[in-house]
Structure 1
């Protein structure tokens, strides 16, 4: 019987090639898009799950309220790891991690800057799953001058992996570090990545005993069965005891301030953590929800197409059903027959979709910034998933047509009493409205997202990021000032400044600033030189900027308007004293100027308080304002100067506008993906509409012939065939527009600086949907309208 089902289904599908092609194409497009999104979602949800004990690993966070400003950090005080391990029996192990900045390894006569370097406790191999292929993980980092590297680093420096016992020299201290272990490369699905692991025992800051200075990412491994929420409830008492030894905790808390610690599960860090000093840029759980919903929508659209086209063909299959029933076929036999056809179409479409997803995966990786691949591990979940898709989609898509067609009465069918065509299809009309409601919703969402991204790109940030070249690692030079002076002599250089702090950098240093030595304000604290303001294209609202001609400027401060407002100053701010630091480490400054607010963080955040001091201790980069159009020639000259001063150092640079774009690259990628999947949803909806228009025209061909004989024009017939569909699209717009407006309004509230929704977006989306639908329908309508009426009436 099953063989007969397959054979009959194959013949029926082959007989109706156009119907089969549209169904296979629609389902394949939908499934391919759905699979790509599934790959993305699975990749996002798999972060840090390579750790065998990931469910028991938690990161310790700090929440600080000081001077009315609440800041959430992904780091805590140095001694907290040891305190947690020894004060709470629930904690099995703890480890601290800190990124190592400006590390350069000697490789022959060349020095190579590496940015994937961390300092960590020896216990890192007890907490995280980092398989060691050469060396002993229990003792690998017990020596302060030990280093563990990954396979990739070993091959880069030694062209082999069995390198335990070899040495690497760090230029900063010129001390050979003995390689005590080689581990497998950290999976890309990790919230932190590193190729070099240095012992934290070599860092003086690791021995800091104060609990109010945050510096390390800290993780705890809890014992089996431990409840982390109950553990968190014990933290306030620990913090009160610990902070009491270094500060007046009662006075601190009475002022409305606090320092609190809490835990974040390791598996939640990538998607649900957005704190300051994260080890890397995290994802966003909202994107997972959004794209999961889009995948479901696309799949539903493809299934709707199948149901619409199958029921639209009911008149063509009606006589077949009638004859089969007269010859003794039961209704359940017919249902099984139609579902067999559906399963066959779904199976073919799924094979095409898997092949298409595999071919498109490299392009999708480029768009999404991922490095996903289909491998044996992928097939462990993909194979059963594909089987489930075939069965579920095939049965769901084919069930309504099967029950609808099998319910025809033979007598009515053979007497021609079954209504045909587009009219009378209430469910089909509902499904078309549903399809285009989704499509219009996505169109409006895409317009809003792209409008916001364009606003971000063009917003006046308070500084000029164009033509700013940043030369990195200048602290490797004996005197970076010489490089600055040499560069400023080159033609096409407007100005240059030495600093570690730029609006697009991730380097941040918060400090406490007060106007009365009592109430503190936590601010950004930037060390700059006298050329910083002009190079950045910033402007003063009052006062003056630093000058090398005034020795007193070493104790001067320039603050931004936000800091002036929070400190309670309005117009009378110049020469006011400010106190920076805490307790015994306070230093007195005087305000000489106020710089206009500029964005130094994401546009999702309001501009916070910031102070600048003239200090040459932090000079990691040279920022150059370039005014020449011949950048290649300028870069060659700059590199020549660099090589003269540092022949063994690599010349590394970036452009500030590129760094700014990188801050919003994830959002830009999400916008591009949103556009692509919106387009895919529209194409699928149009495929279904195209098929429906074709069958509507086919079922009304005799009516069209009679109308033409009676003098109807082509335009009148096209209008007649199109108006029913256009009405449905307009109903879809009425449903989707307010929902999309509300959803995108909520999305925009996440930005402190945003472009409000424009009125033209709704009519533009509605008009676009109507035009797309009309173009899709009109090809079939026009074809039916110009047909010779003799062909349709000759059989009457």
Structure 2
């Protein structure tokens, strides 16, 4: 029986191959889009879940609000790990990780350049699942100056030689590390990646007892079935017990007094939430994470794509019901019951869905490299061949088969045989209303996605063109100039004499991209105010960056040593209460040697030195040039300048090659997530409207066939092709127009919520609605016109001939 259903279904599909092709194309695009997004979402949700204890591991984070300064940091104080292990019975293990910067590695006289290195506690491998494949399987870091290296680092450094027992040298710190183990490379879906893990037993920072400095990423392993909220509720008491005495010594007030007007404390974050639910300052994150909002957005897009493809199937099947009315009547007269007819029509649906799924898998295999480039992923087609995914695809086929074919099957099988044999079905009435509703739904999604894409692009243009308070164009950043050693000043002098260079400054502090960071406590009249960011610069920083001095002066060699002089941005002036005559005012800065008095010599215009997601924060410039060079080029095309600098760099026989970045590119990279989202959203907006228009094309095709004789009569009576196209288009375009009334308010609400993530954002202008409407109507009208014009161009004699 099943074989007969399939055979008959295939014959009907071949008989109506035009409508069938449209259905297959729409379903294939919908399923392919769903599979691509499924791969993306699955990868995003998989982060850190490879760890055997992932469901019990939490990270300790620090949050505070002190005199208006909001602090959110993923690092905490050195003693926190051991204190929480000792004081909380729910904690079975605790471990720490401290990221190290600018690590230059040597082995046996060979120089390997910068490597990713972190200091970790000896029990690190008991908490995280990074298999040791060579060397000590247990406690490989139980001695000072021991290191576990990644498999790829071992192969690149030692080749086929056994690395165990070999000594690596960290040249910039003159530190020798004994290799005790080799681990598998950290999985891509980990929230951190390092090639060298060094024992904290030889790391001085790990022995600190202060609760006033945050340096360590700290992780706890909780007992099974422990409620995180219960554990977290005990942290305020621990903070008061251990932080309180040091707070009183530093600020002169008790913990209770301090927290009357301020908020401060430790909190817990599940390990599996880190990648998608982190919102910490850039200086306290290990790597740029994802965003759960984008997972929700793309998941919704995937569902809508499938629903629209299924709607096409339902629309076309019910619209073509009149063509199959006699078939249904004859089958019923010959004894077929309703159940048999439902099975027959469902068989056709499953054949179409299976073929669409097969075509979708081919589309995914071809599109995956392009999608990986757009999404910044490394998704593998082999994942689609895993048993779980094959089962998911098979389930998807069943769901789509029932969803797309269920309603048409029940609808077609319910025809009265007498009416069916008389062909009294025009596709109008109740079912026409349902089809109209489904068409509106399709274009609600399509128009909504188009408007959303335009808003994202408008925000990206706003970011690109916003006045930042400095000139980001034609700036070249050399972060590693310190590698020149004693030749660094000579290199800077050569740059100054280069005819292609307008200005140069010696500073490691950059307002976009990788930068040094310094934060210090500020006191006024010996009373604590809050923490503020510091930039260490020279006298050329302000002119090189194109910043504006509003009051006072810049640093200058004419005034001698200026290590106790500072320049404030407008926000710092406001917070310190120096609004009237700030020049000459002073405050104290907390240093290792106690409070140091700083005198204000100038005020600069506020500039965005962090992401536009954040409001401009107070900033203090102090004279202390070191460790980096920023160059302003006279020409937009910097290729000649870069080549010249590369040659000069190599003349000093530096162990590493000339490494640079262009500030404009670094600035754009800051918003890489948003740009990827906009690009992917654009892609799926296009695919969604293609699928919707495929359905529209099918409906117009069917309508033109239904009104074939009417079109012939109108042509005989003098109607032009344009008038007939307008006749066939009017009703469909009316449905598209109605969809705007739903799509635009909904899109406005959702995109306005998205824009709230930016402290500086564009408005959703009225012309964006007009543009979205124009694009949607234009594409829909083009789709309708192609078929309508073809129908209107047929010789009326053909349509008026008797059957």
For the superposition of Structure 1 and Structure 2, which TM-score range results when normalised by the shorter chain?
over 0.9
TM-score (norm: length of structure 2): 0.96
The CA distance in 1 between the partners of 2:259 and 2:47, in whole Å, is 41
Residue equivalent to 2:479:
472
Q: Secondary structure at the match of 1:76?
A: coil
Distance 1:423 1:235, change over 3 A: closer
Distance 1:529 1:347, change over 3 A: same
- The reply to whether residue 273 of structure 1 matches residue 275 of structure 2 is no
- The reply to whether residue 521 of structure 1 matches residue 525 of structure 2 is no
- The reply to whether residue 548 of structure 1 matches residue 548 of structure 2 is no
- The reply to whether residue 304 of structure 1 matches residue 308 of structure 2 is no
Moved more, 390-399 or 786-795: 786-795
Residue equivalent to 1:494:
502
Distance 1:646 1:59, change over 3 A: farther
**Alpha-carbon distance, 1:552 to partner:** 4.3
1:220-619 matches, within 5 Å, as 220-248=220-248, 250=254, 253=258, 256-276=261-281, 277-375=284-382, 379-420=386-427, 425-479=432-486, 480-504=488-512, 505-581=514-590, 585-616=594-625, 619=626
The CA distance in 1 between the partners of 2:516 and 2:485, in whole Å, is 22
**Alpha-carbon distance, 1:255 to partner:** 6.4
Distance 1:377 1:38, change over 3 A: closer
The CA distance in 2 between the partners of 1:708 and 1:254, in whole Å, is 84
Per-residue deviation, residues 133-168 of structure 1 (Å, max 9, x unmatched): 012243322232211111111111122484211222
Q: Secondary structure at the match of 1:554?
A: coil
Alignment check: 8 A CA contact 2:453 2:685 kept? yes
Moved more, 575-584 or 378-387: 575-584
Distance 1:157 1:66, change over 3 A: same
Residue equivalent to 1:190:
190
Moved more, 629-638 or 226-235: 629-638
**Alpha-carbon distance, 1:244 to partner:** 3.0
The CA distance in 2 between the partners of 1:322 and 1:503, in whole Å, is 75
**Alpha-carbon distance, 1:53 to partner:** 0.5
Per-residue deviation, residues 644-664 of structure 1 (Å, max 9, x unmatched): 334323321111111111101
The CA distance in 2 between the partners of 1:98 and 1:135, in whole Å, is 23
The CA distance in 2 between the partners of 1:142 and 1:530, in whole Å, is 48
Moved more, 414-423 or 394-403: 414-423
Moved more, 166-175 or 457-466: 166-175
Moved more, 345-354 or 460-469: 460-469
Distance 1:331 1:506, change over 3 A: farther
- The reply to whether residue 157 of structure 1 matches residue 165 of structure 2 is no
Per-residue deviation, residues 426-461 of structure 1 (Å, max 9, x unmatched): 111010000001111111101111000011011111
Q: Secondary structure at the match of 2:450?
A: helix
Residue equivalent to 1:728:
735
Q: Is there any run of 5+ residues in structure 2 with no aligned partner, and where?
A: none
Alignment check: 8 A CA contact 2:57 2:271 kept? yes
The CA distance in 2 between the partners of 1:456 and 1:388, in whole Å, is 43
Per-residue deviation, residues 3-51 of structure 1 (Å, max 9, x unmatched): 1001000111111111111111000001001110010000000000010
Alignment check: 8 A CA contact 2:614 2:758 kept? yes
Distance 1:630 1:673, change over 3 A: closer
1:73-112 matches, within 5 Å, as 73-106=73-106, 111-112=111-112
**Alpha-carbon distance, 1:405 to partner:** 0.8
The CA distance in 1 between the partners of 2:489 and 2:558, in whole Å, is 17
Alignment check: 8 A CA contact 1:67 1:519 kept? no
Q: Secondary structure at the match of 2:35?
A: helix
Distance 1:550 1:65, change over 3 A: same
**Alpha-carbon distance, 1:312 to partner:** 1.1
Alignment check: 8 A CA contact 2:148 2:196 kept? yes
The CA distance in 2 between the partners of 1:344 and 1:785, in whole Å, is 34
**Alpha-carbon distance, 1:116 to partner:** 2.0
Per-residue deviation, residues 251-286 of structure 1 (Å, max 9, x unmatched): 661662343001000000110111121111111100
The CA distance in 1 between the partners of 2:527 and 2:383, in whole Å, is 63
- The reply to whether residue 121 of structure 1 matches residue 116 of structure 2 is no
**Alpha-carbon distance, 1:297 to partner:** 0.4
Alignment check: 8 A CA contact 1:521 1:567 kept? no
Distance 1:498 1:8, change over 3 A: same
Distance 1:375 1:5, change over 3 A: same
Q: Secondary structure at the match of 1:500?
A: coil
Alignment check: 8 A CA contact 2:322 2:423 kept? no
1:14-93 matches, within 5 Å, as 14-93=14-93
Alignment check: 8 A CA contact 2:318 2:431 kept? no
- The count of aligned residue pairs is 794
Alignment check: 8 A CA contact 2:508 2:515 kept? no
The CA distance in 2 between the partners of 1:178 and 1:349, in whole Å, is 57
Q: Secondary structure at the match of 1:754?
A: coil
Alignment check: 8 A CA contact 1:109 1:648 kept? no
The CA distance in 1 between the partners of 2:592 and 2:659, in whole Å, is 40
**Alpha-carbon distance, 1:765 to partner:** 1.3
Q: Is there any run of 5+ residues in structure 1 with no aligned partner, and where?
A: none
Distance 1:719 1:424, change over 3 A: farther
Moved more, 631-640 or 746-755: 631-640
**Alpha-carbon distance, 1:423 to partner:** 9.5
RMSD of the alignment, in Å? 1.8
**Alpha-carbon distance, 1:213 to partner:** 0.8
**Alpha-carbon distance, 1:474 to partner:** 2.2
Alignment check: 8 A CA contact 1:272 1:285 kept? yes
Residue equivalent to 1:144:
144
The CA distance in 2 between the partners of 1:333 and 1:80, in whole Å, is 70
The CA distance in 2 between the partners of 1:630 and 1:254, in whole Å, is 54
Distance 1:376 1:741, change over 3 A: closer
- The reply to whether residue 620 of structure 1 matches residue 621 of structure 2 is no
Alignment check: 8 A CA contact 2:521 2:531 kept? yes
Alignment check: 8 A CA contact 1:111 1:650 kept? no
Residue equivalent to 2:176:
176
- The reply to whether residue 777 of structure 1 matches residue 784 of structure 2 is yes
The CA distance in 1 between the partners of 2:107 and 2:504, in whole Å, is 31
**Alpha-carbon distance, 1:515 to partner:** 2.5
Distance 1:648 1:122, change over 3 A: same
The CA distance in 2 between the partners of 1:420 and 1:63, in whole Å, is 63
**Alpha-carbon distance, 1:250 to partner:** 1.4
Moved more, 520-529 or 655-664: 520-529
Distance 1:106 1:254, change over 3 A: closer
Residue equivalent to 1:8:
8
Per-residue deviation, residues 477-519 of structure 1 (Å, max 9, x unmatched): 3233232222222221112222221101353222111322213
Alignment check: 8 A CA contact 2:477 2:663 kept? yes
The CA distance in 1 between the partners of 2:161 and 2:229, in whole Å, is 42
**Alpha-carbon distance, 1:202 to partner:** 2.8
The CA distance in 2 between the partners of 1:590 and 1:271, in whole Å, is 43
Moved more, 740-749 or 338-347: 740-749
Alignment check: 8 A CA contact 1:44 1:283 kept? yes
Alignment check: 8 A CA contact 1:421 1:696 kept? no
